[in-house]
């Protein structure tokens, strides 16, 4: 691909005219819809403690996701920590080095040791064939993300867990609205956790949820998110404050009705990127068959770290800000007791870039980003 010749003052005018293009941008509902719900909060004067809107959102999410229990919490990170706590895990947890830092920090924060199993170079999810050899008498669970909302090999993971009597927690922070084999991806594992952070497909600003079909576990998690209080005066076990406020729930109630149409818009944008970039040597992670994606991210794998870094700089110069999701790998975290080696994840992480991807991004921007990428690689 020959380099595009830009007019001499192109950068100057371009920076004046184009606003900053970030990696993601939340698709906010009309503010009037939010204010209407806020008025109700003012009338009831209940701001939190599983109020009217939190209950309504919990019920609606349960239906939307087709799950038995969906317990709202204040973040995806606390959803992970509560899951580890509620399952009484101690010792080692097998996890993936290729994720957002919260997947690992939740394990360490709860006093357990993460054991990293390398990823599959095609899917970027944990490679199930490497799990068994890392299992020891201390291993208690497998906690892995569905990276970019692409399903892990849930069948193999659950089979191994069953054989060795391990719990399975899926960090489904990326996987809201994803269907696998006709059902919601969050139906797999002992627990699936969700994040409703502003950057996710469904968001409440800050927030999250714990999904499970186990009645006892659901009751325990509900109590634990509320200081471990059973009734007003009885505390039965240690808890924390991880409740979702009414203001957050109100935002969620306005965002939820638009999720399906947003996913459709994102699918169209992904197809546009696909078309612009199809002549390049960029690779994309493989997605298992029978998956209905949510198109949260648009990850591409560069031929080398060098081409990625050059392209990133060129894009930044044009006020365009993709992100290196996820770099560096989590096995390199400075607070780990021992360093572990994950060559595949380290290689992929050094070459992967998530392109700006919101449902507001327009055709000229997609074209411009694609052209800039083509300067460096062909
Ligand atoms: C966003 C995210 C989290 C953390 O969720 P918060 O709601 O921000 O606490 C955890 N895991 C993954 C994979 C994420 O992307």
Least confident of 16-20, 55-59, 246-250: 16-20
Q: Which two tokens stand for residue 102?
A: 């919260």
Q: 14 pLDDT exceeds 70?
A: no
List the residue whose alpha carbon is closest to atom 2 of ligand 1. 173
Q: 223 pLDDT exceeds 90?
A: yes
What are the two backbone dihedrals, phi and then psi, of residue 363, each rounded to the nearest 5 degrees?
Answer: -60, -45
Ligand 1 neighbour 76 (Cβ under 6 A): yes
Q: 72 pLDDT exceeds 80?
A: yes
Q: Which two tokens stand for residue 34?
A: 């939010």
The whole-number pLDDT of residue 12 equals 43
C-alpha torsion 92→96→100→105, nearest 10: 10
Residue 25 pLDDT class (50, 70, 90 cuts): confident
Q: Which residues contact 41 (CB under 8 A, 6 or more apart)?
A: 47, 51, 53, 246, 247, 250
DSSP state of 27: -
Q: 9 pLDDT exceeds 70?
A: no
What ranges make up the beta strands (E) of 55-137? 69-73, 92-95, 113-116
Of the candidates 272, 271, 24, 53, the residue with the CA atom closest to the CA atom of residue 148: 24
Least confident of 10-19, 117-126, 310-319: 10-19
The whole-number pLDDT of residue 1 equals 43
Ligand 1 neighbour 95 (Cβ under 6 A): no
Separation of 315 CA from ligand 1 center, angstroms?
26
Separation of 76 CA from ligand 1 center, angstroms?
5
List the residue whose alpha carbon is closest to atom 7 of ligand 1. 76
Cross-strand pairs, 126: 119
Of the candidates 274, 303, 325, 284, the residue with the CA atom closest to the CA atom of residue 376: 303
Q: 20 pLDDT exceeds 90?
A: no
List the residue whose alpha carbon is closest to atom 10 of ligand 1. 102
Q: Distance between CA 295 and CA 201 in Å, rounded?
A: 9
For 221-241, what is the mean pLDDT? 95
Separation of 149 CA from ligand 1 center, angstroms?
12
C-alpha torsion 99→100→104→105, nearest 10: 180
List the residue whose alpha carbon is closest to atom 6 of ligand 1. 76
Ligand 1 neighbour 99 (Cβ under 6 A): yes
Ligand 1 neighbour 75 (Cβ under 6 A): yes
> How many other C-beta atoms are found inside a 10 Å radius of the C-beta of residue 302?
23
**Of ligand 1's atoms, which has the minimum distance to the CA of residue 200?**
1
Q: 101 pLDDT exceeds 70?
A: yes
Q: 317 pLDDT exceeds 90?
A: yes
The whole-number pLDDT of residue 13 equals 43
Separation of 208 CA from ligand 1 center, angstroms?
9
Ligand 1 neighbour 103 (Cβ under 6 A): yes
User: How open is the CA angle 102-97-147, to the nearest 5 degrees?
Assistant: 70
**Of ligand 1's atoms, which has the minimum distance to the CA of residue 199?**
1
- pLDDT tens string 286-309: 999 999 999 999 999 999 999 999
Q: Distance between CA 97 and CA 125 in Å, rounded?
A: 9
Of the candidates 360, 363, 351, the residue with the CA atom closest to the CA atom of residue 276: 363
User: How open is the CA angle 227-228-229, to the nearest 5 degrees?
Assistant: 90
For 8-23, what is the mean pLDDT? 58
DSSP reduced 3-state for 211: strand
Residue 215 Cα distances to 63, 190, 240, 340, angstroms: 17, 11, 20, 37
Give, for ligand 1, the residue of 173, 200, 209 to mutate: max count of ligand atoms closer than 8 Å to Cβ: 173
Mean of pLDDT over the chain: 94
Ligand 1 neighbour 195 (Cβ under 6 A): yes
Residue 360 pLDDT class (50, 70, 90 cuts): confident
The whole-number pLDDT of residue 141 equals 98
Q: Are 144 and 125 in contact (CB under 8 A)?
A: yes
The whole-number pLDDT of residue 233 equals 87
**Exposed/middle/buried for 19, CB within 10 Å: 0-12, 13-18, 19+?**
exposed
């Amino acid at each position: 691909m020959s380099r595009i010749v830009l007019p001499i003052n192109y950068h100057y005018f371009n920076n004046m005219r184009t606003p900053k293009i970030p990696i993601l941008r939340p698709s906010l509902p009309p503010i009037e819809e939010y204010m209407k719900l806020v008025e109700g909060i003012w009338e009831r004067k209940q701001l939190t403690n599983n109020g009217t809107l939190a209950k309504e959102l919990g019920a609606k999410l349960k239906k939307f996701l087709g799950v038995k229990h969906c317990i709202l919490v204040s973040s995806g990170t606390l959803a992970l920590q509560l899951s580890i706590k509620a399952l009484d895990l101690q010792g080692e947890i097998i996890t993936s080095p290729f994720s957002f830092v919260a997947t690992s920090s939740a394990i360490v924060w709860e006093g357990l040791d993460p054991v990293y199993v390398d990823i599959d170079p095609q899917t970027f999810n944990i490679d199930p064939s490497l799990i068994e050899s890392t299992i020891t008498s201390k291993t208690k669970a497998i906690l892995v993300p569905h990276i970019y909302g692409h399903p892990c090999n849930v069948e193999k993971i659950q089979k191994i867990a069953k054989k060795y009597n391990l719990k399975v927690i899926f960090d489904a922070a990326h996987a809201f609205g994803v269907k696998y084999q006709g059902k919601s991806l969050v139906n797999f594992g002992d627990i699936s956790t969700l994040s409703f952070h502003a950057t996710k497909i469904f968001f409440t600003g800050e927030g999250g949820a714990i999904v499970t079909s186990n009645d006892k576990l659901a009751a325990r998690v509900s109590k634990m998110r509320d200081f471990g209080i059973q009734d007003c005066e009885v505390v039965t076990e240690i808890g924390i404050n991880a409740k979702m406020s009414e203001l957050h729930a109100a935002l969620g109630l306005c965002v939820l009705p638009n999720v399906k149409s947003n996913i459709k818009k994102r699918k169209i944008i992904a197809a546009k990127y696909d078309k612009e970039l199809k002549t390049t040597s960029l690779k994309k992670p493989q997605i298992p068959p029978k998956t209905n994606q949510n198109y949260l991210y648009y990850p591409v794998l560069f031929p080398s770290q060098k081409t990625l870094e050059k392209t990133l700089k060129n894009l930044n110069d044009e006020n365009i800000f993709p992100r290196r999701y996820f770099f560096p790998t989590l096995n390199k975290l400075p607070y780990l007791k021992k360093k572990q080696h994950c060559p595949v994840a380290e290689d992929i992480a050094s070459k992967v870039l998530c392109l700006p991807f919101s449902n507001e991004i327009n055709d000229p921007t997609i074209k411009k980003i694609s052209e800039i990428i083509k300067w460096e690689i062909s």
